[in-house]
Chain A
Amino acid sequence: MRQTQKLLTILAVLSSAAFYGHNAHAHTPAKINDAQIAHIAYTAGVIDIKTANLALEKTQNAEVRDFAQSMVKDHTTVNDQALALVKKLNVTPEDNDTSKGLVKQADAERAKLAKLDGAAFDRAYATNEVAYHKTVNGALENTLIPSASNPELKDLLTTGLKIFKGHEEHAEHVVADLK
């Protein structure tokens, strides 16, 4: 669970109003730009798809399977929309320390989940999904959406947030049912 906490810390930093990229100590902070925002949002989606695919490999629980399938379906759709938008806007998503940190920590978390089986895996996966969506949604709501300058990117992130809030509720239902 320590890895989960690290991952959530990265997103929590993002969700705080004080996030200004890796140059946080500077007096004039560098504001996160649209290319970085697009990269972070896309990366967060890819992470959830990979974790859902792990769940689809491991779970025997129909409800967990349905949830994981929804995650793959929705995050793939949102990411496809994001790719189409950055192409249209002629923006190249820009890798950044936040995206790198997310990937590193998520890989570690997925490795831990992979060692679990049966009900233990289902519970850990569903609980992680609640926490992950809660934190990603906080980052979207408090930092990424307010920081986005392009209105179409802002709209896409806002729509994404509505979808991901639905995921958070869905994950909470799954956790409750697994108890």
Chain B
Amino acid sequence: MICYLQNIALRAWIRKFMLAAILSMVATPVFAKIIHIKVKDMAFSPKKIFAHVGDILKWDNGDFVVHTATTEDQVWNITLPAHDSGQVVLNKAGHINYYCRYHPAMTGEITVKE
């Protein structure tokens, strides 16, 4: 009888553990956002972005010329083909200045928080 009750308790604990694990997997993307940046008429819009670690930045290039999203330290150099997009996952906190390598007057800023 005791063994039977122990089995039931163990199964209930396993169910709870699995439920918690599944919930945590489902819940993670809820906190990570996809932030869209419009690239049009030779400008990034919005020019300033506030984001969190884990967020995804997605640049949607509406121009018919190729652009890039390139950090000043060249850690990213994302090509944004004409009428196409490019993205990056923000994996650490900090302040980032970026520009288009082909059109350096196009600039943007991202502040990433934990």
Contact A165–B42 (Cβ < 8 Å): yes
Contact B101–A166 (Cβ < 8 Å): no
Contact A163–B42 (Cβ < 8 Å): yes
**Complex CA distance for A13 and B41, rounded to whole angstroms:** 27
Contact B105–A170 (Cβ < 8 Å): yes
Chain B residues positioned under 8 Å from A173 (CB to CB): 104-105
Count how many chain A residues have C-beta atoms less than 8 Å from C-beta atoms of the other chain.
17
Chain B residues positioned under 8 Å from A159 (CB to CB): 41, 63-64
Q: Is B102 an interface residue (CB 8 A)?
A: yes
Q: Smallest Cβ distance from A140 to chain B, in angstroms?
A: 14
For the complex, would chain B's binding face be called helix, strand, loop or mixed by DSSP majority?
Answer: loop
Contact A170–B103 (Cβ < 8 Å): yes
> Which of A120-179 touch B at CB < 8 Å?
159, 162-163, 165-167, 169-170, 173
CB-nearest residue of chain B to A63: B104
> Which of A48-66 touch B at CB < 8 Å?
66
Segment at the interface with B among A28-36, A37-45, A70-78, A92-100: A70-78
Q: Smallest Cβ distance from B52 to chain A, in angstroms?
A: 31
Interface residues on B, range: 10 to 19
A77 and B64 contact, Cβ closer than 8 Å, known pairs A162-B41, A162-B42, A163-B42: yes
Contact B42–A73 (Cβ < 8 Å): no
For B60-83 the 0/1 string (1 means CB < 8 A from A) is: 000111100000000000000010
Chain A residues positioned under 8 Å from B90 (CB to CB): none
A74 and B102 contact, Cβ closer than 8 Å, known pairs A162-B42, A166-B42: yes
Chain B residues positioned under 8 Å from A70 (CB to CB): 102-103
Q: Smallest Cβ distance from A75 to chain B, in angstroms?
A: 10
Chain B residues positioned under 8 Å from A74 (CB to CB): 65, 102
**Complex CA distance for A66 and B104, rounded to whole angstroms:** 11
CB-nearest residue of chain B to A174: B104
Q: Is A81 an interface residue (CB 8 A)?
A: yes
Contact B64–A81 (Cβ < 8 Å): yes
Q: Smallest Cβ distance from B101 to chain A, in angstroms?
A: 7
Which of A73, A162, A163, A166 is most buried by chain B, counting CB atoms within 10 A of its CB?
A166
CB-nearest residue of chain B to A76: B65
Q: Is B32 an interface residue (CB 8 A)?
A: no
CB-nearest residue of chain B to A80: B64
Contact A166–B64 (Cβ < 8 Å): no
A169 and B105 contact, Cβ closer than 8 Å, known pairs A162-B41, A162-B42, A163-B42: yes
Chain A residues positioned under 8 Å from B65 (CB to CB): 73-74, 77-78, 163
- A-B contact list, 21 entries, CB within 8 Å: A66-B101, A70-B102, A73-B65, A74-B102, A77-B65, A77-B66, A78-B64, A78-B65, A159-B41, A159-B63, A159-B64, A162-B41, A163-B63, A163-B65, A163-B103, A166-B42, A166-B105, A167-B103, A169-B105, A173-B104, A173-B105
